[in-house]
Amino acid sequence: MDNHVHPDIEAILLSQEDIREIVSRLGKAISQDYADKNPLIVTVLRGAFVFTADLLRAITVPCSVDFMAVSSYGDGVKSSGVVRIVKDLDTKIEGRHIIIAEDILDSGITLSYLVGLFKARNPKSVEIAAFAVKDIPGKKPSIEPRYVGTHVPNEFIVGYGLDYAERYRNLPYVGVLKPEVYS
Q: State pLDDT tens for residues 65-94.
A: 999 998 765 555 555 567 788 999 999 999
The total domain count for the chain is 1
pLDDT average, residue stretch 145-150: 97
Q: Are 131 and 151 in contact (CB under 8 A)?
A: no
Domain span at residue 66 reads: 16-155
Task: Summarize pLDDT for 159-174 with one digit per residue, the tens.
Answer: 999 999 889 999 999 9
What angle do helix axes 49-58 and 16-33 make, rounded to 10 degrees?
60
Catalytic residue among 54, 103, 106, 163: 106
106 in catalytic set: yes
Long-range contacts of 154-158 (CB under 8 A, 24+ apart): 155/13, 156/77, 156/182, 157/13, 157/104, 157/132, 158/9
So what's the pLDDT on residue 167? Answer: 93
- Confidence (pTM): 0.90
What band does 13 get if pLDDT is binned at 50, 70 and 90?
very high
pLDDT average, residue stretch 140-160: 93
Question: Does 178 fall in a domain?
Answer: no
Cis peptide before 46 (omega within 30 of 0): yes
So what's the pLDDT on residue 2? Answer: 45
CATH of the domain at 88: 3.40.50.2020
Beta 157-158 vs 147-153: how paired, if at all? unpaired
Task: Summarize pLDDT for 89-138 with one digit per residue, the tens.
Answer: 999 999 999 999 999 998 888 889 899 999 999 999 999 999 999 998 88
Q: Are 114 and 61 in contact (CB under 8 A)?
A: no
So what's the pLDDT on residue 7? Answer: 93
What span, in angstroms and rounded, lies between the C-alpha atoms of 171 and 162? 9
Contact partners, residue 11, CB within 8 Å, separation at least 6: 175, 176
